[in-house]
């Protein structure tokens, strides 16, 4: 699960830059010359308007900040989708603007619940299951109404022992491509089996996979039940969980050999390719995470033909420990791709430190300007460091769409170990 489930209350110790000088490239048209691929780029201001006039600060826009510590930021209410248990509500949000219907936004998120299973000895326990739910806004992202479960938790059988258990879904992301009025939705999510035990006990090594699919559909509900491209490490039971791409096989020698599993994936579409980012979680010598080797890797595919036949390629390292240190953390987690209001490509990341209630503490969310995704290259700020467009403290696992009136959305952790909710920061970088 996204480390949004962790305590997020420590203020950051880094100084942000004063904006970037790189020229925003924005998305490009697909190979067939159709419409712009990624519709989160806001339209250019009309000539003659105030927003179209140059300003002395235009080359170095200041970063914007907000503190959501202590519940200071407003909650994002999800109508008609009550939480699965008191306080244990929602996590892992991802927002995307509908490319055809004005003022419509789609929000996928993790819905936490509890399901009872029967053990081989006849006893019963409650597993902490996770499903991906979908909600819709028709008022520019101001509020959302629940639509349906997009990828529900599924009852399954443990291939090692035959016990009944659940296969959860979480950490989804969405992207849409419109061409001549026809919309193709792409979606990804984590899938993994829960060990048949009480509580939240994923099988990280043997069943943890990333599933990516597409559907020609007017809404992302078309992604439910489609064939998927399934990516995993060589340690995953490929036959049991339908792995179609072993990441070891498509990565340079040694690039993923120390990755215990891949976590917190995200997708975006640029230049006719679908890109997938995911965290490489590296185990330390004495247990826990080796933060010095933690990194986020990037892959791409043209996503042509049936999903099981998609060919994935290694692109490079999106973020690593050195970059995390520059941002005041030890690791960088939970990537999300978006665009700034001026059209500059953004990646939103959560710097983290080891410690806290659950062993890892998110320090907030930071939106960074990129000059290139392939290869991953970051724009520079006026101080020569990273071009930091926005900082939100007291929140984690953030998502953003420049057309949403709510700005950056994230997960607030109440600090009791199970108090989760979605909040809005109002930041619109």
* Count: domains in the chain: 1
Using a 10 angstrom Cβ sphere, with 0-12 exposed, 13-18 middle and 19 or more buried, the burial of residue 392 is buried
Q: Could you tell me the pTM of the whole model?
A: 0.87
Residues paired with residue 124 on neighbouring β-strands, in sequence order = 118
The domain that contains 20 carries what CATH number? Answer: 2.115.10.20
* Blockwise average pLDDT, block size 10, the chain, 429 residues: 37 34 30 32 39 44 86 90 71 97 97 90 92 98 97 91 92 97 97 94 94 98 97 95 97 97 97 97 90 97 97 98 97 97 97 73 93 97 94 96 97 71 95
Count how many Cα atoms sit within 13 Å of the Cα of residue 271 in the half-sphere of its side chain.
Answer: 10
What confidence score (pLDDT) does residue 401 get?
Answer: 98
Using a 10 angstrom Cβ sphere, with 0-12 exposed, 13-18 middle and 19 or more buried, the burial of residue 318 is buried
Domain that holds residue 35: 3-43+60-424
Q: Is 53 a domain residue?
A: no
What confidence score (pLDDT) does residue 413 get?
Answer: 82
- How many Cβ atoms are within 10 Å of 49's Cβ, its own excluded? 8
Q: What is the DSSP letter of 357?
A: T
What confidence score (pLDDT) does residue 51 get?
Answer: 37
Q: Is 241 a domain residue?
A: yes
Q: Are strands 409-413 and 396-399 parallel, antiparallel or unpaired?
A: antiparallel
Q: Is 49 a domain residue?
A: no
Under a CB-based contact definition with an 8 Å cutoff, are residues 372 and 391 in contact? no
Using a 10 angstrom Cβ sphere, with 0-12 exposed, 13-18 middle and 19 or more buried, the burial of residue 346 is buried
| DSSP state string for 190-254 | EEEEBPSSSB--B-TTTS-EEEEEEEE-SSGGGGTT--EEEEE-TTS-HHHHT--EEHHHHS-TT
What confidence score (pLDDT) does residue 50 get?
Answer: 38
Using a 10 angstrom Cβ sphere, with 0-12 exposed, 13-18 middle and 19 or more buried, the burial of residue 67 is middle
Q: Is 48 a domain residue?
A: no
Kindly state the tokens that stand for 371: 């000059």
Q: Is 54 a domain residue?
A: no
Query: Using CA atoms, how far apart are residues 429 and 423, in angstroms rounded to an integer?
Result: 17
């Amino acid at each position: 699960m996204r480390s949004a489930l962790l305590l997020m209350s420590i203020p950051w110790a880094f100084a942000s830059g004063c904006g970037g000088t790189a020229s925003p490239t924005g998305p490009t048209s697909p190979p067939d010359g159709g419409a712009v691929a990624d519709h989160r780029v806001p339209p250019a201001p009309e000539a003659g308007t105030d927003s179209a006039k140059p300003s002395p600060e235009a080359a170095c826009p200041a970063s914007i900040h907000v503190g959501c510590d202590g519940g200071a930021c407003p909650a994002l209410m999800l109508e008609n989708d009550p939480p699965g248990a008191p306080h244990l509500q929602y996590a892992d949000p991802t927002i995307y603007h509908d490319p055809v219907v004005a003022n419509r936004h789609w929000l996928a998120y993790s819905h936490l619940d509890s399901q009872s299973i029967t053990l081989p000895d006849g006893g019963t326990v409650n597993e902490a299951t996770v499903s991906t739910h979908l909600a819709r806004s028709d008022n520019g992202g101001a509020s959302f109404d629940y639509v349906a479960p997009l990828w529900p938790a599924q009852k399954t059988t443990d291939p090692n022992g035959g016990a009944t258990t659940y296969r959860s879904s979480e950490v989804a992301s969405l992207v849409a491509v419109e061409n001549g009025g026809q919309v193709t939705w792409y979606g990804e999510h984590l899938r993994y089996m829960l060990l048949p035990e009480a509580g939240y006990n994923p099988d990280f090594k043997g069943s943890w996979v990333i599933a990516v699919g597409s559907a020609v559909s007017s809404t992302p509900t078309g992604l439910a039940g489609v064939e998927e491209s399934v990516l995993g490490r060589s340690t995953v039971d490929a036959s049991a969980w339908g792995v179609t791409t072993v990441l070891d096989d498509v990565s340079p020698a040694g690039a993923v050999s120390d990755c215990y599993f891949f976590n917190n994936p995200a997708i975006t579409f640029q230049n006719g390719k679908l890109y997938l980012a995911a965290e490489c979680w590296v185990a330390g010598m004495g247990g826990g995470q080796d933060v010095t080797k933690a990194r986020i890797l990037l892959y791409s595919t043209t996503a042509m033909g049936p999903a099981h036949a998609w060919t994935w390629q290694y692109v490079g390292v999106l973020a690593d420990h050195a970059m995390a240190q520059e941002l005041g953390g030890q690791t960088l987690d939970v990537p999300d791709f978006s665009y700034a209001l001026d059209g500059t490509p953004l990646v939103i990341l959560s710097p983290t430190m080891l410690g806290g209630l659950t062993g890892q503490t998110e320090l907030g969310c930071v939106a960074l300007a990129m000059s290139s995704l392939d290869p991953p290259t970051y724009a520079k700020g006026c101080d020569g460091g990273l071009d930091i467009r926005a900082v939100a403290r007291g929140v984690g696992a953030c998502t953003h769409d420049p057309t949403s009136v709510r700005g950056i959305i994230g997960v607030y952790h109440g600090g009791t170990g199970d108090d989760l909710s979605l909040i809005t920061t109002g930041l619109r970088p």
